[in-house]
Amino acid sequence: QVQLVQSGAEVKKPGASVRVSCKASGYSFKNFAMHWVRQAPGQRLEWMGWINAGNGDTKYSQKLQGRVTITRDTSASTAYMELSSLRSEDTAVYYCARGQYCSTFNCYRGVWFDPWGQGTLVTVSS
Amino acid sequence: DIQMTQSPSSLSASVGDRVTITCQASQDISNYLNWYQQKPGKAPKLLIYDASNLHTGVPSRFSGSGSGTDFTFTISSLQPEDIATYHCQQYDDLPYTFGQGTKLEIK
C-alpha cells in the first residue's frame, strides 16, 4: 500500500534549521509530486510547497520563500523539507503528502493530498 | 491569497443526524475544492476531491457539492467514528489554502 513515513520529532533553538524526511513506498516515487503542509497549535493547515519528484522542480509559499527548501533523493524514494532561521511561530506538526501525478514534462492539474505522512512535531524553543 | 471560510467552526450532532458544513472561497475557484477528515493526533485523510468526487474507500454517507465560491460537505447519517475535524482546501491558485476547520462532536 502507498505509505509515507516521516522522521522523528525535533527540538530546535531559535535561528537554527531543521530537516524533516519523508520516505515513500508502494508507488512510483518519481511519478508524483510531494507536498509539505504544517499545522501550528490551534491554527489551520498551511501549505508550504511542493516538489516534482521526477525532475526536482519546486514551488514554495511566498510567505516562506527564502527559508524553506524541498529536495528529494529518488534512489531512496525520500523527500526532504528544510526550514531555516527558525522562530517560535514555526512550532508545528509538519506533514508530507503525496500530490498530483507528474509526467516528464508537466503535472496533472488536479491537486489533492493523499496519503499523508504521520507528521513530525518540530518545537522551536530557547 | 484565496481565503477559505468554513461554517460552522464547531458542531454538535446526534448519531444518525444529517450534518452539513459549508466552505466559502474569497473568489471563484471552479470545482477545485477538496475535503479532508482529521481525527485527534492523526494526519488528515482525503474524503472528497474536485468538490463532489468520493475518494476510493470512503463511505457513501459522505458527499460534497458546489462550484464557484460556495461548497457544501454532508454526512447523511452521522456515525460515532465520524467524530473529527473537517477541512476544505482549494487548489485553484497558489498558495493552496485551507479552511479553518470544523470540529464535529457527538451530542
The upper half-sphere exposure of residue A21, i.e. CA atoms within 13 Å in the direction of its Cβ, equals: 9
Per-residue pLDDT at A104: 76
Q: Which residues pair with B2 in a beta bridge?
A: none
How far, in Å, CA of A97 to CA of A114, rounded? 6
Please give the single-letter amino acid code of residue A74: T
For residues B17-31, one letter each, b for 16 or more C-beta atoms within 10 angstroms of the residue's C-beta and e for the rest, the string is eebebbbbbeeebeb
Q: Is B22 helix (H, G, I), strand (E, B) or coil?
A: strand
Per-residue pLDDT band for B80 (boundaries 50, 70, 90) equals very high
* B98 to A59: CB separation less than 8 angstroms, yes or no: no
Share of chain A above pLDDT 90, in %: 92
Judging by DSSP bridges, how do beta strands B97-98 and B84-90 pair with one another? antiparallel
Task: Test B89 with A113 for CB contact under 8 angstroms.
Answer: yes
Cross-chain Cβ contact B43/A119 below 8 Å: yes
Q: What angle do CA A32, A33, A37 make, to 5 degrees?
A: 140
Cell of A23: 520516505
pLDDT of residue B88: 98
Q: Please, what is the average pLDDT of chain A?
A: 96
Query: What is the average per-residue pLDDT within A13-35?
Result: 97
Return the pLDDT at A83.
98
Cα distance between residue B104 and residue A77, in whole Å? 36
pLDDT of residue B18: 98
**Among A61, A63, A113, whose Cβ lies nearest the Cβ of B46?**
A113
Evaluate the CA torsion angle A58, B23, B59, B45 in order and state its sign.
Answer: positive
- pLDDT averaged over chain B? 97
The answer, yes or no, to whether residue A101 has pLDDT greater than 90, is: yes
Q: Which of B45, B46, B98 sits opposite A44 (nearest CB)?
A: B98
Instruction: Tell whether B45 is within 8 A of chain A (Cβ).
Output: yes
Question: Measured between CB atoms, does B22 come within 8 Å of chain A?
Answer: no
